[in-house]
Amino acid sequence: MPRTVFFETFGCQMNTADSEAMLTALRRAGWQPTEDVESADLVVFNTCAVRDHAEAKVRSRLGLLRELKQRRPQLRIALAGCMAQREGRALLARHPQLDLVVGTSQFSRLPELVERLHEEPRIAALDFEDWDERERADVEPAPGVNAFVPIMRGCNYTCTYCVVPMTRGREQSRRPEAIEAEVRRLVAAGYRQVTLLGQTVDAYGKTLGDGTTLAGLLRRLHAIDGLLRIRFVTSHPKDITDELLATIAELPKVARHLHVPAQSGSDRILRLMGRRYTSDEYLRLVERARRFVPDIELVSDFIVGFPTESDDDYAATERLLDRVGFAAAFVFMYSPRPGTPATRLADDVPEPVKRERCQRLLERQLAQQEAQHRALLGSVLPVLFEGPSKTDPGMLFGRSAGQRAVIAPRDDALIGRIVPVRIARCTALTLYGDPLP
């Protein structure tokens, strides 16, 4: 009988990609994925540490497994990823049902660590190591049109609210030839779009010290026949060079999309966050991006309720949002993360104020998005269809050359193709249209 593994992923796209790598390694070692946690021989949670909410979910899942482990003591439970790295060995003490803690540089060792549990009952593997290309060898992403490809890991910035430098370590870039080989393999397997991932993806190449840049990597990948679109997330405002913007403008396969978090519009708060730019500098970046790529769609993250954020600071964030006209924005309430420098500041914005600012900023953003979408009614957009819509399987889901979600009547022959679509109606979040012959 093959041994079975129940796998659950929390958090960002990087975690999705890491889970795909771990699952591939487990499959190669003879494990078979199962949806049934009750009968699984191994349970793996790939975790997120960005907000306490994400960690609380994992703690609750672990609690549910305690009883299962009592009934089936041979069950093995592993916790991998950012929460594992952040809390480390302490997790084993806190959760007696847990067998294995796997840090963010140790994913490729997961099958070997599970085997080692026969000799050593409880293991925490947490060392930061150099990028191990074995981790990406033959990774099988979820079936579909898009594949996530991590091109770097870690971060050399020190934003005061962020756990990433603790959980992912210092910045490391993969070799461009290894990334190209992976993308060629994925395209040969039928994927048509790659999303290149990094915490500060626009800093890609810096640590290689040989002049490698994201712009150069985009050129390299653009030459691959059969690849239709290339996306990359997430960018830091300081690392977007003119060379990168000129490359996006020049290469038609590169999405007209920059996810470049502003986080706040208040210079005082940006300083406290350690973001290393002012709101003016951010606005100048927006201007520069639009000069090079007039149809670029900008997407931002915002944190509201950062310590000491006053009404005036919040108002500055609204002003920035209005001045830029983002194509989308993700708004989060500040949540202090243990061990980060921002915890030295009192978390003094009351919860209801945080919630209200979060709501107001989101509503403001959605009103702008709806107006942008209305302006697109009647126009024709090139849409790469990715598959059936998750909310309505009778329809197809795709994305524009930027990042807008487009829904059209289902025709499976269109999946994996870029098709002109005339936009007929819209909501703030979605465009609906009809493919043209």
14 closest CA partner among 43, 47, 42? 47
* Residue with smaller CB distance to ligand SF4, 146 or 167: 167
Q: From the CB of 173, what's the least distance to ligand SF4, in Å?
A: 14
Q: Can you read off the two tokens belonging to residue 253?
A: 């396969």
The residue from 25, 42, 91, 164 that contacts ligand SF4 (CB under 6 A) is 164
Q: How far is CA 108 from the centre of its chain?
A: 20
The residue from 11, 141, 150, 165 that contacts ligand SF4 (CB under 6 A) is 165
* Residue with smaller CB distance to ligand SF4, 236 or 404: 236
Task: State which of positions 197-236 bind ligand SF4 (CB under 6 A).
Answer: 199-200, 236
Determine, following the binding rule CB under 6 A, whether residue 293 of this chain makes contact with ligand SF4: no
Q: What would the x/- binding string for ligand SF4 be over residues 129 to 158, using CB under 6 A?
A: --------------------------x-xx
* Residue with smaller CB distance to ligand SF4, 110 or 162: 162
Q: How many CB atoms lie within 10 A of CB 227?
A: 18
**Could you tell me if 145 and 193 are in contact, meaning their C-beta atoms sit under 8 angstroms apart?**
yes
Task: State which of positions 233-252 bind ligand SF4 (CB under 6 A).
Answer: 236
Q: From the CB of 10, what's the least distance to ligand SF4, in Å?
A: 17
Residue with tokens 């910035």: 157
Task: State which of positions 66-125 bind ligand SF4 (CB under 6 A).
Answer: none
* Residue with smaller CB distance to ligand SF4, 106 or 199: 199
* Residue with smaller CB distance to ligand SF4, 7 or 161: 161
CA atoms within 13 A on the CB side of 281: 17
Q: Can you read off the two tokens belonging to residue 249?
A: 């403008």
Q: Which amino acid is at 359?
A: Q
Q: Give, in order, the Cα–Cα distances in Å from 377 to each of 298, 322, 385, 409, 421.
A: 20, 22, 19, 17, 11
* Residue with smaller CB distance to ligand SF4, 128 or 157: 157
The residue from 40, 159, 248, 262 that contacts ligand SF4 (CB under 6 A) is 159
Q: How many CB atoms lie within 10 A of CB 354?
A: 21
Q: Can you read off the two tokens belonging to residue 172?
A: 């490391």
DSSP string, 338-354: TTSGGGGS---S-HHHH
Count of residues in contact with ligand SF4, rule CB under 6 A? 10
* Residue with smaller CB distance to ligand SF4, 34 or 200: 200
Question: Please, which residues have CB within 8 angstroms of residue 276's CB and are 6 or more apart in sequence?
Answer: 157, 238
> Which positions touch ligand SF4 (CB under 6 A)?
155, 157-159, 162, 164-165, 199-200, 236
